[in-house]
Amino acid sequence: MAALTDEQTILKDQASAWATEQAPIEKFREMRDANGGIGYSTETWQEIVDMGWTGILVPTEYGGADLGYLTFGIVLEELGRQLTASPLFASSLVGTSAILISGTDQQKQELLPKVVDGTELLTLAVDESPHHAPSKISLTAEEKGNTFALNGKKTFVLDGISATTFIVVARTKGASGDTHGITLFLVDANATGLSRHNLKTVDSRGYANINFENVIVSRESILGTLNEGNETLENTLDRARAGLGADMLGTAAQSFDMTLEYLKTREQFGRVIGSFQALGHRAASLFSNMELARSCAEAALQAIDDEKENASQLCSMSMVKVGDFLHEMSNQLIQIHGGIGMTDEFNAGFYLKRARVLEALFGNQAYHRDRYATLMGF
């Protein structure tokens, strides 16, 4: 684990204590069973806002703390441990990153203070198929004077059911697959012609499919430069992937801790099962893989903060290594617990379901292996 500053250590302890005491996995179970539709508790979200975590990335002139991505990752890891559901990642990291990268002063002044106080929920609407393919944009934005008409669909939009503003990736020129001709638009969730449809997912979060039927937006709603939005999109996605790595790490680390505790307490044949050599070796291997995954996740976050040239490679490496560990750890969580791990009454299933969804967000391991090789010139 990277050496944390005093400020980061305090924040980590705060996030760990709050998540464990105020938003534990039992709260997530209650939220799922209530089936409220938005995928999180509004009370939990307000507490997150009150603690100031929504402003971790936001510059001080807009009411934030400007603490950086590694600091944000520390919070996401602790929330990931308890599967705490909220729009923090989608709005305060992904959406905010896009605004910080390419927003005008007016857009920043209008949106960022509201992100900090929790009244504005941003989310990125990029994919249009079951698989992550950011260059294959077919949703069109046809220019009509000083306005654009958006037509098409977006799938699996994070917290799309509760978002107040969508950052929509549209095609203003060229064909699907072209990197040129992509433009990002800020679209009000209440815009005429925009409809959203709640998705029921295994991890019980508030994803949505979004349809656009002649949704009219002004030229002032463009985020960045017309037809040149691909660089903004890629930079935003890298920040999303770095943050997602921290979330995935938290989910995997808690799965490891639950498994280790079970190995220390479950008795069979008159001995705790952790004393059996095969299971001890398995736990040691999992711990080693967890530390490797942690190094990759933290390296990606630090690279974003340091604006390193190889940040994109490190973000894809994080997605691969953390994704691989999460996949294996969530399987082992179920397997080592045996029959009880398969029951809904036990929490292991929540971690397995969450793991499978996280692995697919913003590109699975296969996607990022290919991307890493491409970025390295292979």
pLDDT one digit per residue (tens) for the chain, 378 residues: 567 899 999 999 999 999 999 999 999 999 999 877 799 999 999 999 999 999 999 999 999 999 999 999 999 999 999 999 999 999 999 999 999 999 999 999 999 999 999 999 999 999 999 899 998 999 999 999 999 999 999 999 999 999 999 999 999 999 999 999 999 999 999 999 999 999 999 999 999 999 999 999 999 999 999 999 999 999 999 999 999 999 999 999 999 999 999 899 887 888 888 888 889 999 999 999 999 999 999 999 999 999 999 999 999 999 999 999 999 999 999 999 988 888 998 999 999 999 999 999 999 999 999 999 999 999
Number of structural domains, the chain? 3
Do 113 and 133 have their domain in common? no
My answer on whether 94 and 106 are in the same domain is yes
Report if residue 1 sits inside a domain: no
Q: Are residues 369 and 247 in the same domain?
A: yes
Report the CATH number that the domain containing residue 78 is assigned in CATH: 1.10.540.10
Would you say 97 and 167 are in contact if contact means Cβ atoms under 8 Å apart? Answer: no
Please identify, among 100, 119, 138, the residue that sits at the C-terminal boundary of a domain.
Answer: 119
334 and 273 fall within a common domain: yes
Q: What is the pLDDT of residue 162?
A: 96
Residue 241 falls within a domain, yes or no? yes
Is the sign of the CA dihedral 155, 158, 164, 168 positive or negative? negative
Q: Which of 162, 143, 153, 118 is nearest to 222 (CA)?
A: 143
Sign of the alpha-carbon dihedral angle for 286, 288, 291, 292: negative
Q: Which of 203, 227, 251 is the last residue of a domain?
A: 227
Domain that holds residue 316: 231-375
In this structure, the answer to whether residues 204 and 98 fall within a common structural domain is no
Spell out the residues 6+ positions from residue 353 whose beta carbon is closer than 8 angstroms to its own.
202, 203, 204
With respect to residue 182, please indicate whether it lies within any of the assigned structural domains: yes
Contacts of 345 (CB under 8 A, 6+ apart): none
Please report, for the chain, how many H helices and E strands are present, in that order: 11, 10
Residue 77 in contact with residue 135, Cβ under 8 Å?
Answer: no
Q: Which of 176, 201, 227 is the last residue of a domain?
A: 227
The CB-side HSE value for 204 (13 A sphere, CA atoms) comes to 21
Q: What is the pLDDT of residue 3?
A: 77
With contact defined as beta carbons under 8 Å apart, do 241 and 315 qualify?
yes
- The answer to pTM > 0.85 is yes
**Residue 144 shares a structural domain with residue 274:** no
Q: Are residues 78 and 184 in the same domain?
A: no
Taking the C-alpha atoms of residue 260 and residue 264, their distance in angstroms, rounded to an integer, is 6
Same domain, 242 and 354: yes
Domain check: are 254 and 280 in the same one? yes
* 49 closest CA partner among 120, 110, 108, 141: 120
Same structural domain, 34 and 163: no
